[in-house]
Amino acid sequence: MAAENKKNKGKRKKNDDDNEIEPAAAQQQPSKKRNRKEIAIFGNYRHYYGYRVGQDMDEDPRLKVMKKEWFEGKDCLDIGCNSGLVTISIAKKFGCQSILGVDIDGARIEDANWTLRKIVRTNTHKMTSKSPGADAKLGIDFEKSTTKSPDEGTSGSPLLLEKDLLKIVSFEKGNFVQNWHPPANKYYHAILCLSVSKWIHLNWGDDGLITLFSRVWSLLQPGGVFILEPQPWSSYSKNRLVSETANANYKNIRIPPEDFQDVLLDKIGFRRVEDITSNLSGSKSGFNRPILAFWK
């Protein structure tokens, strides 16, 4: 199907994915602030996880469909990590050897570092004082994830794991499609790109998208996995108004998200894909997006 037809197909109705246009309104804020729209031209929302992960959820539902063997003892990269909650959760739940979160917004990287230190402090304290509870606001039951049995993690003792977390998890500011460079000769076993492709697409067009995919390919170890959660085309239309550049790029996009799989397999060179969307349940309204795992 021609890209134009696919794009028109996406214009059919107001979609739940439009949530991403006004996240500030979805947050609990004083009434004065509630009407003020947050302009986040890169999808670099503050408090993203405050509306993405419900208070009633024990963890981000996306973590439930990811497999331990993709991450355990592996070097991992999280592109567009925002305030780092998924990055940190993956490290804790699956026992990565290392995980680096990269985000274009330095303020989100500061948030991520702050959150990381807070989690380490809180859990170290909890484990020494054995006080109950979890930091529900962070959307993750850290208590639960740190009290797993020793054979569930790479570190035998949960206390050790907490200390190690500061060595395992790190965050860096950078634009993945322009100026961010990994350490020399560094390759990753797993690379995540969750709800980021639309923002790269709108800001840097089809060229930016192809740069994203090619860079991911070249940074992956042979046999490594690329986990992609693309936003649907139907959600692009409102976000195009975040900037003139985004609006101009929007009009010229020729690779709609429905074609990403073919591009990654036929042009970039990934060997195979697994669609893990069907295992996903409990996502908040507006975040029912596909999740695809591609192997190099």
Figure out which of the listed residues 89, 123, 145, 195 binds ligand SAM, where binding follows CB under 6 A: 195
Q: Supply 82's token pair.
A: 């925002």
Q: How far is CA 170 from the centre of its chain?
A: 15
* Lateral strand order in the sheet of 98-103: 169-173, 98-103, 75-79, 188-194, 220-229, 292-295, 272-275
Q: Is 129 helix (H, G, I), strand (E, B) or coil?
A: helix
Cβ 23 to ligand SAM shortest distance, Å: 9
Q: How many residues does the chain have?
A: 296
Q: In the bound complex, what is the minimum distance in angstroms from residue 110's beta carbon to ligand SAM?
A: 12
In the complex, what is the shortest distance from the CB of residue 167 to ligand SAM, in angstroms, rounded to a whole number?
22
Q: Which stretch binds ligand SAM (CB under 6 A): 66-74, 79-87, 109-117, 233-241?
A: 79-87
277 sits near ligand SAM (criterion: CB under 6 A) = no
Please choose, out of 5-13, 28-36, 181-189, 190-198, the segment that lies near ligand SAM by the rule CB under 6 A: 190-198
**Choice from 76, 112, 138, 196 touching ligand SAM (CB under 6 A):** 196
Q: Which amino acid is residue 48, in one-letter code?
A: Y
Q: Does 50 bind ligand SAM (CB under 6 A)?
A: no
Query: Considering only 191-199, 217-225, 255-263, 270-278, which stretch makes contact with ligand SAM by CB under 6 A?
Result: 191-199
Q: Would you say 104 or 246 has its CB closer to ligand SAM? A: 104
CB burial readout 119-133, b (16+ within 10 A) else e: bbebbbebbeeeeee
Q: Binding of ligand SAM at residue 90 (CB under 6 A)?
A: no
* 213 belongs to the binding site for ligand SAM (CB under 6 A): no
Does residue 61 touch ligand SAM according to CB under 6 A? Answer: no
Q: Which residue is nearest to ligand SAM (CB)?
A: 80
Q: What 8-state DSSP symbol labels residue 72?
A: B
Q: Does 161 bind ligand SAM (CB under 6 A)?
A: no
- Helices 106-129 and 85-94 pack at an angle, to 10 degrees, of 40
Stretch that binds ligand SAM, among 122-130, 173-181, 249-257, 288-296 (CB under 6 A): 173-181
Q: Which 8-state DSSP code applies to residue 153?
A: S
Provide, rounded to whole angstroms, the least separation between the CB of residue 137 and ligand SAM. Answer: 16
Q: Contact with ligand SAM (CB under 6 A): which of 48, 142, 233, 250?
A: 48
Question: Looking at beta carbons only, is 57 or 158 nearer to ligand SAM?
Answer: 57
Instruction: Go through 7-24 and write b for each residue having 16 or more CB atoms within 10 A of its CB, e for each that does not.
Output: beebeeeebebebbbebb
Where helices occur in 151-196 by DSSP H, the ranges are 158-168
Q: Return all residues near 71 (Cβ < 8 A) that are at least 6 apart.
A: 90, 94, 95, 96, 99, 189, 190
Least separation in angstroms between residue 184's CB and ligand SAM is 20
Pairwise CA distance, residues 29 & 212, whole Å: 35
Q: What is the DSSP letter of 272?
A: E
**Alpha-carbon distances, residue 154 vs 38, 226, 251, 285 (angstroms):** 40, 22, 48, 35
Among residues 19, 82, 234, 239, the one that binds ligand SAM under rule CB under 6 A? 82
Residues that bind ligand SAM (CB under 6 A): 42-44, 48, 79-82, 86, 102-105, 108, 175-177, 194-196, 199-200
